[in-house]
A and B are shown apart, each in its own frame.
Chain A
Amino acid sequence: MASLLDRKKTAAQVVALARSDEKIAASALLKGIFTDFTELHGDQEGADDSAIIGGLAYLAEQPVTVIATNKGQTTEEKMQTHFGCPEPAGYRKALRLAKQAAKFNRPVICLVNTAGAYPGKSAEENGQGEAIARNLLELSTLPTPIISIIYGEGGSGGALALACGDRIWMLENSTYSVLSPEGFAAILWKDSSRAAEAAEVLQLTPEKLLQQKVIEGIIPESHSQRRLCRAIRKVIIAEMEQLQRLKPAELLEQRHLRFRKF
């Protein structure tokens, strides 16, 4: 995978790399960053969505709650997770685990790679909008540090629902936008083939988003997954230590200002 340091990439190239089959999988991240990950299933409201993996783990001996979107690796997994597009049950599971984390004073680490929340009949019926809305509402004052890493696609409200906390970092080959470039071109220009142009206009690259203060930083990618996990780990630990030093009221005030400025 090409590194940011090699040469300047176009926005369309970043989109392609973010979606590439070579992109590190959620399972590899869980193994590479954390120790002793143990999965917790279900939203306890009647469903378990495999597009979101949640559970408990240690990070530098500190207990944390991990929530990761999952695109799946086999064809069967990909179908089951709708290629990493969560159903409402996924967002409800995420919120349940985040609240549990706050109860036990554990930081929440979100690993995000999704084209967006799943647009389907069942998702509509089960309240996709309500599920995302509830996350945005509740997480805005959840009294524990929330750190998100966007490691591939950060698609719209479906990504925001897991990236509305205290710190957001992106891998260099990842994107974060209000809509996919194809959808954007289709809506605004009635021509989805102008996706490359749309990617540029959307300003969805980590560099642009850093300038706009939407994210806190960029993590360089390398061919070695081990090195990549080490780099992500380092960032999360540093951010976690900073955030844990804050009193709950300070933490929440900073989180509030982080979004109030837009």
Chain B
Amino acid sequence: MQLFDELKTLGQKHIKADKKASQKVPSGLWQACPKCHQSFYYKDLGQYKTCPNCHYGFRITARERLGWLTDHFEEMDSDLATTDPLNFPNYGKKLEKARHLTKLNDSVLTGKALINEQPVMLGIMDPYFIMGSLGTITGEKLTRLFEKALKEKLPVILCTASGGARMQEGIFSLMQMAKVSAAVKRHADAGLLYIAVLTDPTTGGVTASFAMQADITLAEPRALIGFAGKRVIEQTTFQRIPDDLQDAESVQHHGFVDQIVPREDLKEKLAWLLKFHQVKEVTHG
């Protein structure tokens, strides 16, 4: 017990020392990788915000990803706003905060983009907008993205990042899963290409719908990809689950991810795939 007491005292001393130090040293200079737990000077993460040790891609806003992924972008449906169908207490304030933080009207950024001069309908979900949760506007923007792609005969690329359904919109959030799925199907039936890029985290209702409906499914290294949350699994089954059960690498091992692509290579990989699918017929001889 004495040992624990000593540790406690040491701990407290440490906190006091930290308090003084924090006034002199600005926060955020050192960032710890949530996957391999190593700390890095923030500049070492580079423009792509990836871990130099394990290549995990840190969570970034949709607009930040847009910056290095595309050469040109025309945004769509940035004026839509949710009707707050359940009249959920304090939801308005939460939305306001999320909009301010992400500069988006809801949890996905959609539009027509050029990637290495190739046109594509692009959606990027934002993990900082209420955890990238699937609200009615998220679903509406995605549905319109696939509908426009169908009309213009263009491929769709979707970067997913989501904690799942938007609790504050109840059953209307659930209905988005069916709505977007139907739009994906119509796009697919027209012979058009859909590529999903699963980023950290892709879970719940998003995994159980459009994230898992693509022709080609890419994922970022060590991204969390799953259906149920770890805590829910452990509480339901009374089993401890391994930390890497829902890592992109495990999901690939079980056959649900085509390829793991480090963020630095993503643009080139997507450009290659887009180009590959444009070649329709080759005459030989």
Q: Which residues of A contact B (CB under 8 A)?
A: 117-121, 123-130, 132-134, 136-138, 140-141, 156-157, 160-161, 164, 176-179, 183-184, 187-188, 201-204, 209, 212, 214, 255-256, 259-260, 262
Contacts and interface: CB of A to CB of B under 8 A. Distances in A.
B236 A120 contact: yes
A202 B245 CA distance: 31
B227 A187 contact: no
Contacts of B204: 157
B170 interface: yes
Nearest to A85: B236
A93 to B, nearest CB: 17
A90 B112 CA distance: 38
Nearest to A116: B228
B204 to A, nearest CB: 8
Contacts of A260: 143, 179, 182
A124 B182 CA distance: 24
B195 to A, nearest CB: 15
Contacts of A262: 136, 139, 172, 175-176, 178-179
A157 B174 contact: yes
A187 to B, nearest CB: 6
Nearest to B237: A120
The 10 closest A-B pairs by CB, nearest first: A119-B228, A129-B207, A262-B175, A136-B181, A133-B212, A132-B208, A140-B182, A128-B227, A129-B227, A130-B212
Interface string B88-100: 1100000000000
A121 B237 contact: yes
Interface of B: 85-86, 88-89, 136, 139, 143, 165, 167-179, 181-182, 184-186, 188-189, 204-205, 207-213, 226-229, 232-233, 236-237, 239, 241, 245-246, 250, 254-256
A134 B170 contact: no
A133 B208 contact: yes
A238 B7 CA distance: 73
Contacts of A118: 236
A167 B86 CA distance: 23
A203 B170 contact: yes
Contacts of A188: 167-168
Contacts of A256: 182, 186
B170 A127 contact: no
Contact of A204 (B169, B171, B178, B210): B171
B167 A177 contact: no
8 contacts: A120-B228, A141-B189, A160-B177, A161-B208, A177-B174, A201-B88, A203-B86, A262-B175
B232 A119 contact: yes
Given A178-B165, A178-B171, A202-B170, A124 B226 contact: yes
Contacts of A119: 227-229, 232-233, 236-237
A164 B178 contact: yes
B210 A133 contact: yes
A160 B177 CA distance: 9
Given A201-B88, A260-B143, 15 more contacts: A119-B227, A119-B236, A120-B236, A123-B227, A123-B228, A128-B208, A132-B208, A133-B211, A140-B182, A157-B204, A160-B178, A201-B86, A202-B86, A260-B182, A262-B175
B170 A156 contact: no
A21 B206 CA distance: 33
B97 to A, nearest CB: 15
Given A178-B174, A201-B86, A133 B181 contact: yes
Contacts of B184: 137
Contact of B167 (A127, A184, A255): A184
Nearest to A117: B227
